[in-house]
Structure 1
Amino acid sequence: MGAQLRVYRQKIKSAKTTKKITRAMELIAASRIQKAQQRVAASLPYSRAVTRAVSGVATFSNVDHVLTTEPEKIERAAIVIFSSDRGLAGAFNTNVLREAEELATLLQSQGREVVYYLVGRKSVGYFGFRKRAYEQSWIGETENPVFETAKEIGDAVVAKFLQPASEGGVDEIHIVYNRFISMLTQSPEVVRLLPLEIVEGVEPPAENEVLPLYEFEPEASDVLDALLPVYIESRIFNAMLQSAASKHAATQKAMKSASDNADKLIDTYTRLANNARQSEITQQISEIVGGADALSSAKK
């Protein structure tokens, strides 16, 4: 009985230690999520302005640009996966990797070869464990993204897109990341980055409305050459910020759940330890009473 009591006490001690760790990680994630949300909100006006500018040029010009023209046949497609460098975030990485796998299966069913670009140690580890090939990876800055990394990713995927598929290039590029909706909800998102899909359309004019005349200086093709790399970088950076905010929110939720589970374990093992202690005391009392009765009987 004493051995069982020692086991329960050891489990209570382990659960309390685990709770201290998970509680500390929950507080750290809660402190970081505010800054991550502010960075997402601060990036939106710039991203929308760039999108509006690209939409205007693409809509009011008849230039066939390589980044906006749909190829006749798509042979190879690239998928950029945004995961995290660390775990302990619930289903955060599992959801984005599952979404990427579903996208790859869809593209392969359409006869397209798929190549991967990975952001975050978790996606790199996922592919490394399964011994699957990928083109390039970026690790170490998923929790606090910097624009230089987004620019590097953008330059890499645009260069691959401009390269012919017969020479190892790709015909389209998709990004897969977790979009931050709220502290409780983070949704995996799939966006086709190239060829460019204008996300802000132009409303049809009213009956008596005269459409504005646009003049581009320099030429529209030169404007697109300057705007599109900026547009790609802003979309990638926004995806990195969304992924970082989602990761912190997922970590906070997962650590709170772990702390609550630790509390339940502590209550359960405390109750079992009390029962074991009560049984031990009852047994000791029974042995004392039995010994006293035996002595009394011997004296008679």
Structure 2
Amino acid sequence: MGAQLRVYKQKISSAQTTKKITKAMELIAASRIQKAMARVRASSPFARAVTRAVSAVATHSNIDHPLTREPETIRRSAVVIFSSDRGLAGAFNSQILREALQLAELLRAEGREPVFYLVGRKAVGYFQFRKMDSVEQWTGDTDTPQFHTAELIAGSLLDAFQRGGEQGGVDEIHLVFNRFVSMMTQEPETVRLLPLELVESADAASAAVYPLYEFEPDAETVLDALLPVYIQSRIFNALLQSSAAKHAATQKAMKSASDNADKLITDYTRLRNNARQAEITQQIAEIVGGADALASGK
């Protein structure tokens, strides 16, 4: 019985230690969420402005630009997967990988070969464990993404897109990332980035009638300058959305772990008290039984 009490005490101590760790991680994630959300809000006006500018050029010019032209045959499709560098975030990484693989199956069913570009160590580890191929990988900058990372990703994707599927590049680009909806909800989202597909909602500003434009030196030069900036802003926004969603998922997972630790502590404390009471009862019964034996032997 004494050994059983020691086991319960060890389990209670272990659960208390785990709770301290998960509670600290929950608080850290909560503090990082606010910073991540502030960065998402700060980047939104620029992304909207670039989107309106690209939309104006694409709408009010009749040029046939490679980045806005729909190819006759799509042979290879780039799938950019935005995961995290760290775990302990519940279903954050598993749901985005599942979404990306479902997209890949859909592309294969349409006769398109998916090629993968990976962001985050979790996606890289998943592909390496399953011996799946990827073109490029970017790790170490998912918690607090920097714009330089978005520039690197955008440059690699644009280079592959400009080569085309026939020359080992790609004919279209898809982004797969977790979108921050609320503290409790993070939804996987797929966006076709190229050929250009404007994804802004049709609000009053975007639905307004554009004025007539004259482009200097010409519309193609303006589009050449705007489209890389547009691609970089969309990728950076996806990085920021993924970062905010990851911190929210971590906070939710760590809160659930802390609640489970509390439940374990309560359950093991009850079991320890029952075992202690049973030990005390057994000792009293042995004393009474011994006293009765002595009394009957006289």
Deviation at 1:213, TM superposition (A): 2.5
1:288 aligns with 2:284: no
Partner of 1:235: 234
**Structure 1 residue 198: Cα displacement:** 2.3
In structure 1, runs of 5+ residues without a counterpart are 206-210
For 1:212 and 1:189, the matched residues in 2 are separated by 33
Unaligned runs of 5+ in 2: none
Deviations 1:138-164 (A, max 9, x none): 000100000000000000000000003
1:246-265 Cα shifts (integer Å, max 9, x gaps): 00000000000000000000
Shift of 1:204: 8.4
Give the drift of 1:199: 3.0
| Residues 162-207 of structure 1: CA deviation (Å, up to 9, x unaligned) | 00312211000000000011111111010001000123576486xx
Alpha-carbon shift at residue 5 of structure 1 (Å): 1.3
| In 1: Cα distance, 2:181 partner to 2:118 partner | 23
The 2-side partners of 1:292 and 1:286 are apart by 10
Q: Give the match's secondary structure for 1:86.
A: coil
Q: Report the equivalent of 1:49.
A: 49
> Counterpart in 2 of 1:218?
217
Query: What pairs with 1:109-124 in structure 2 (closer than 5 Å)?
Result: 109-124=109-124
Residue by residue over 1:36-67, the C-alpha shift from the partner in whole angstroms, topping out at 9 and shown as x without a partner, is: 00000000000000000000000000011000
Residue 190 of structure 1 aligns to a residue whose secondary structure is: strand
For 2:264, the equivalent position in structure 1 comes to 265
Residues 33-44 of structure 1: matches in 2 within 5 Å?
Answer: 33-44=33-44
Q: After superposition, give the CA deviation of every residue in 1:19-47 in whole Å (9 maximum; x if it has no partner).
A: 00000000000111100000000000000
Amino acid at match of 1:223: V
1:178 aligns with 2:200: no
Cα distance in structure 1, aligned partners of 2:62 and 2:222: 13
Letter in 1 for 2:233: S
Counterpart code for 1:262: A
1:244 and 1:16 map into 2 onto residues whose CA distance is 29
Q: Which residue of 1 aligns with 2:76?
A: 76
Counterpart Cα distance in 1 of 2:21 and 2:112: 46
Residue matched to 1:297: 296
Structure 1-normalised TM-score? 0.96
2:55 maps to a residue whose letter is: S
Give 2:249's aligned residue: 250
What aligned pairs does 1:93-132 form with structure 2 within 5 A after superposition? 93-132=93-132
Structure 1 residues 234-243 or 287-296, which shifts more?
287-296
In the alignment, the residues of structure 1 paired with residue 273 and residue 22 of structure 2 have an alpha-carbon distance, to the nearest angstrom, of 26
Amino acid at match of 1:276: A
In the TM superposition, residue 212 of structure 1 has moved relative to its aligned partner by 3.5
Task: Give the drift of 1:4.
Answer: 1.3
Q: Residue 94 of structure 1 aligns to which amino acid in structure 2?
A: S
Q: Matches of residues 153-172 of structure 1 in structure 2 within 5 Å?
A: 153-172=153-172
SS at match of 2:270: helix
Other-structure match for 2:64: 64
Identity level (%): 71
For residue 64 of structure 2, give the secondary structure of its aligned residue in structure 1.
coil
Quote the residue 1:208 is aligned against.
Answer: none
What secondary structure does 2:223 align onto? helix
The one-letter code matched in structure 2 to 1:266 is I
- Give the SS at the match of 1:252: helix
Aligned residues: 294
How far does residue 126 in structure 1 lie from its aligned partner after superposition? 0.5
Once the 2 structures are TM-superposed, how far is the Cα of residue 217 of structure 1 from its aligned partner? 0.5
Report the residue type matching 2:269 in the other structure.
T
Deviations 1:49-91 (A, max 9, x none): 0000000000000011000000000000010000000000010
CA RMSD of aligned residues (A): 1.2
Taking structure 2 as the reference length, the TM-score comes to 0.97
Aligned to 2:85, the other structure's residue is in SS state coil
Q: Which amino acid letter does the alignment assign opposite residue 171 of structure 2?
A: D
Residues in 2 aligned to 1:123 and 1:164: alpha-carbon distance in whole angstroms: 25
Q: 1:238 & 1:276 partners in 2: Cα distance?
A: 56
Q: How does 1:136-215 map to 2 (within 5 A)?
A: 136-200=136-200, 203=207, 212-215=211-214
SS at 2:196 equivalent: coil
SS class of match (2:269): helix
Instruction: Give the whole-Å Cα distance in 2 for the aligned partners of 1:140 and 1:53.
Output: 32
Distance 2:132 2:101 in 1: 12
